[in-house]
Structure 1
Amino acid sequence: MFDKLMAAQQKAEEIKKRLDHVSVYGEVEGGAIKVTATANKTITAIEIQEEFFKGADKEEIEELLLTAVNKALTQADQVSAVEMQSATKDMLGGLGGMFGA
């Protein structure tokens, strides 16, 4: 049983490392503001088109930036959930033998 629990922990660590290399994106206003993050919710880039930046006011940029960040983080949640769900199925399938299944 201990071996299976250790394998499950190792699998979770592998997923976390893999999610560090998966990029997700959030953008608003047709790409005027783009946010890139990892599936582990680390923001890695923010791009604001210069023309949009020149024509927008501070409050507009802040609101849209917040929206773009939240879109990227929502995508990160979705990707992470799919990965964890898949791993959980694999782990539970492997643990089934412990309970006589």
Structure 2
Amino acid sequence: MFGDMMAKLKEAQEKVEATKKRLDTVLIDEKSSDDLLKITLTANREIKKIEIDDSLLKDKEQLEDYLVVHLNKAIKKATQVNEAEIGAVAKEGMPNIPGMDMFK
């Protein structure tokens, strides 16, 4: 019985790691409502691209504000995708251990 549980835990861990690798290919896009700033990052929260309209380069404070707001939005979206995917895989692969229902 213990060997079965360990095998299932190892399999779940492998699936989680494979999902993490796959999430490197899932892209999340965020842009400002006026299209002056566009950000792309992976579901693992790695920034891939930032596009800044030239008009934002004239106002340092506005650019900084845009970056903070939209990077945080993009990171929040990526985190939601990441946690949902990892959580689903982890829950699916967990053996049924009495008292260990932490993924419900």
TM-score relative to the length of structure 1: 0.83
Computed over aligned residues only, the root mean square deviation of the Cα atoms, in angstroms, reads 1.6
Q: Percent identity?
A: 37
Q: 3-state SS of the aligned residue for 2:45?
A: coil
Give a deviation string over 1:34-79, Cα, whole Å, max 9, x none. Answer: 11100001011000122x335x410000010111111110110110
Question: How many pairs were matched up?
Answer: 94
**2: CA distance, partners of 1:10 / 1:65:** 36
Work out whether 1:17 is the aligned partner of 2:21: yes
**Unmatched segments (≥5 aa) in structure 1:** none
Q: What runs of 5+ residues in structure 2 fail to find an aligned partner?
A: 99-104
Paired residue type of 2:89: A
Say which of 52, 56, 69 aligns to 1:53. Answer: 56
Which segments of structure 1 move beyond 4 Å, counting only runs of 4 or more?
A: none
Q: How far is 1:25 from its partner?
A: 1.6
Give the counterpart letter for 2:13 in structure 1.
Answer: Q
TM-score w.r.t. the length of structure 2 is: 0.81
